[in-house]
Amino acid sequence: MASVLLLNASYEPLDVITWKHALSLMLRECVVAACDDAIEIQSVSRVFPIPTVLRLRRYVNVPRRNAHWHRVGVLKRDRYTCAYCGRRPGDRQNGHILSKQDFTVDHIWPVSRGGKNTWGNTICACARCNQRKADRTPHEANMKLRWEPKTPRSNYLVASGEIPAAWKAYLEI
């Protein structure tokens, strides 16, 4: 199903909507195109080009929600890159080519010591670094984090998966 990225008037991503919803917003003149890419929808008499990114004419006030924590979300947020050694799927480690399955979620403050499943306490790590760090903090293990874990916005994960190129300018991915 073709979908459209809906932006607020401020260009902040709001939602991923169906082309039908997009068409109704266009017909009501609530939105303007925010990219050149379009999905072509064929009706009986004509073709409607629907831009893959639309922007609301009027600003809507949306309270910020943080995305719900989940394991795969952490891996996607960190693009399957080990926060300790920087290796990614496709990189070599001990003669083995890493795949997504080799990446795990590391608890910065270990679970065994009360560390929680939160965006701020979890980060992507290769199995080897995760094992090496074990039940220690990065400081105790003398391992340095390459970046600070961030809490993604709710729309971040809605759009994860296959992302149309035209959306990328507006999403933190």
C-alpha dist (Å) from residue 95 to 92, 98, 125: 6, 9, 18
Q: Which of residues 70-89 bind Zn ion (CB under 5 A)?
A: 82, 84-85
Whole-angstrom distance, CA of residue 116 vs CA of residue 102: 22
Q: Residues, the chain, total?
A: 173
Whole-angstrom distance, CA of residue 44 vs CA of residue 56: 28
Q: Is 123 in the site for Zn ion (CB under 5 A)?
A: no
Q: Which is nearer to Zn ion, 106 or 170 (CB)?
A: 106
Question: In the set 3, 126, 149, 155, which binds Zn ion (CB under 5 A)?
Answer: 126
Min. distance of Cβ 131 from Zn ion in angstroms? 10
Whole-angstrom distance, CA of residue 155 vs CA of residue 163: 13
Min. distance of Cβ 103 from Zn ion in angstroms? 9
Q: Is 129 in the site for Zn ion (CB under 5 A)?
A: yes
- Residues interacting with Zn ion, by CB under 5 A? 82, 84-85, 126, 129
